[in-house]
Structure 1
Amino acid sequence: MDDRSRAPRNRTIVLTEEDRQKCGSALCRLDAPAQLSDILDSTICQDTLHVLPFLPMGAFDLIFADPPYNLTKDFDGNTFKQTELEDYEDWLDSWLPQMKCLLKPCGSIYVCGDWRSSTGIHRVLSKHFRVRNRITWERDKGRGANRNWKNNLEDMWFATVSDCYTFNVDAVKLKRRVVAPYTDSVGNPKDWEEDERGRYRITHPSNIWTDLTVPFWSMPENTDHPTQKPEKLLA
């Protein structure tokens, strides 16, 4: 039960003991090899490294991995210590190959990291996958630094098992406002459209994302999780 005092406008999701019991009964735990039908549409609440050997091989289309970054942090008693880059790479190499075994031949994986851990992630991913891109997204949250640039970015590495993979580009195209509306020789719009909201063009998505907000206390998706990612990042 969370007994912290919160402001009236704080919209952080907090579970009561009744909520915990209700949700807990719906969680899945694995202690033996499972079939896909055993875990489909389920939430597994366990140590990932413990569960990996029990998951069905070659059954998944997509994996989104958000491992601990190479930082010294204390999260309510769970302490992580920064290590040498080589040691961090060894740790990544202890489980990333298993991720490849879980994916279908045309599967994809996204792996999160920050500027410090990103180098190691790229190197290890390159050993086992075909790295397609690095997405950098802006996270305008956190304190500044007096003797360094404020760190307000994170990375996601996009990799695939093979050259056969799914990328639904039409589902992620963006609507951009047109600043310089070029026209053709007869005055028709050139590569742009216009409606009641103004001129715009539909563009392909880039690997720089600046429209995300890290959840905070007044957002209905906010939780007490210390490294929560925005829902929009996964959507």
Structure 2
Amino acid sequence: MLPLLPDGAFTVVYADPPFNTGRSQTRAETSMRAHPLGEGDRMGFRGQSFTTVAGRLRSYDDVFGDYWDFLFPRLEHAWSLLADDGTLYLHLDYREVHYAKVMLDIVFGRECFLNEIIWSYDYGAKTKRRWPSKHDTILVYVKNPARYHFDASEVDREPYMAPGLVTPAKIKKGKLPTDVWWHTIVSPTGKEKTGYPTQKPRGLIRRMVTASSRPGDWVLDFFAGSGTTGDVARALGRRFMLVDSNEQAVEVMAARLGASREPGSAVRLVDGPDLFGPPSEAPL
């Protein structure tokens, strides 16, 4: 589906791939190219080329090779689909994020790295054999580091963690979020819950969409899952497309967003079971 979409159409691309999909993928050769324009391999890591680094990592860790072949082509598509002022948010956990950082440095360029966001939460089982894992990582890359859109004034502010150190006026206003986001998961018994196992909370996606897009901009999520990105984008006046190959995800999204196959519906199933978007304004 991604190759059918037009280049440069989306201001925000959010991707929340299955964290362990690479472990069951079959090995397939992929092309590597560096962006922005340049000849040969992008250099880094003590002067070594990224291709050389990737090759060594493949020989060291077979899982890396599998995950590379699964994710790398999709990141290349994400780069192409982003507008010149666009931003990619790639959501992963500790098992794969270091691999993905290498991939994004190749596809986007290290100069296009904007942030590593830590989403911290505190819910679920806790082991006593190691430090319990209670965070995900969101890598943020921009298409053009000189032109990307970012509007901090639109982001919902949050309470100060040490209110006694600031003035009453600042306490009332709240503070801008940093690159560490404290936000609860979707409550298992809350109204937001859809039943989809990897559903992300609205508040998390809202922060990304409000900061990195304007009303009327296009937002893309190509591992759309429960459809939270579309739900948030619609509420914020953004246009959106959601892509997912999982039939359960499509059913959940259709129910959540009121999607229909009818041409006049507000949110329409555009192309088979994989793509949602506004019917008359889709950039196809």
Report if aligned partners of 2:12, 2:82 keep a CA contact under 8 Å in 1. Answer: yes
Question: What SS does structure 1 have at the residue aligned with 2:185?
Answer: coil
Cα distance between partner residues in 2 of 1:88 and 1:58? 26
Q: Which runs of 4+ in 1 moved over 4 A?
A: 198-202
Partner AA of 2:164 in structure 1 = V
Higher Cα Rg, which structure = 1
Counterpart residue number, 1:62: 12
Distance 1:152 1:104, change over 3 A: same
Partner AA of 2:120 in structure 1 = E
What per-residue deviation string (whole Å, max 9, x for no partner) do you get for residues 66-120 of structure 1? 11102799xxxxx889x61232123211210011111111111100000111101
- TM-score normalised by L of structure 2: 0.53
Counterpart residue number, 2:194: 223
Q: Which one of 182, 186, 205 corresponds to residue 177 of structure 2?
A: 205
Cα distance between partner residues in 1 of 2:173 and 2:81? 39
- Does 2:80 match 1:101? yes
Distance 1:104 1:199, change over 3 A: closer
- Give the helix-richer structure, 1 or 2: 2
Q: Which one of 170, 179, 199 corresponds to residue 153 of structure 2?
A: 170
Counterpart residue number, 2:123: 141
CA displacement at 1:153 relative to structure 2? 0.5
Partner AA of 1:156 in structure 2 = I
Partner AA of 1:61 in structure 2 = T
- TM-score normalised by L of structure 1: 0.63
Counterpart residue number, 1:22: none
Partner AA of 1:180 in structure 2 = L
- Does 2:96 match 1:117? yes
Q: CA RMSD in A?
A: 2.6
Partner AA of 1:137 in structure 2 = W
Aligned residues: 166
Partner AA of 2:82 in structure 1 = L
Report if aligned partners of 2:25, 2:70 keep a CA contact under 8 Å in 1. Answer: no
Partner AA of 1:227 in structure 2 = T
Provide structure 2 residue ranges, at least 5 long, that are not aligned to the other structure.
27-61, 207-284
Partner AA of 2:178 in structure 1 = S
